[in-house]
Amino acid sequence: MASLKNDIKAIREYVLANTDPSVTSEIEKQLLIMEKVDGMVESDRFKEAQKLLCWGNLAYCCSIKKECPWLLAVLKTGDISPHTYTRLKEGVDWEVAARNGRKKS
């Protein structure tokens, strides 16, 4: 697994240049989690990386179309392509709809 160091550095630089200072500290906390995750073994790393996400679990994330940097970082940590994530997410949506006796719209 490639190091996230360059990604973390790029996100940090972007945030400092383009983000309102009132939210910078929250983003910095997230980046510190990414740095912690970067040194872990793969299984622990992916589990810990999910703490970056709004709900703490990849299963609850939004669509890849939202281009959330935290979702993208977690996918990279888990070596999951955006295409694979989308296919898995759509499959779960269909399954939930079927269990509830509804057609997915």
Q: Is 69 inside a domain boundary?
A: yes
pLDDT digits (tens, 9 = 90+) for 4-45: 677 777 777 877 787 777 777 777 777 777 777 666 667 787
pLDDT given at position 76: 84
Q: Is 104 inside a domain boundary?
A: no
Stated pTM of the model: 0.55
CB 101 within 8 A of CB 94: no
Confidence of residue 3 (pLDDT cuts 50, 70, 90): low
Token representation of residue 94: 């269909």
pLDDT given at position 72: 85
DSSP collapsed to 3 states, 29-83: HHHHHHHHHHCCCHHHHHHHHHHHCCCCCHHHCCCHHHCCHHHHHHHHHCCCCHH
Give the residue numbers spanning the domain of 32: 5-99
Q: Is 24 inside a domain boundary?
A: yes
Query: Domain tally for the chain?
Result: 1
pLDDT given at position 40: 64
Alpha carbons 99 and 24: distance in angstroms, whole number: 42
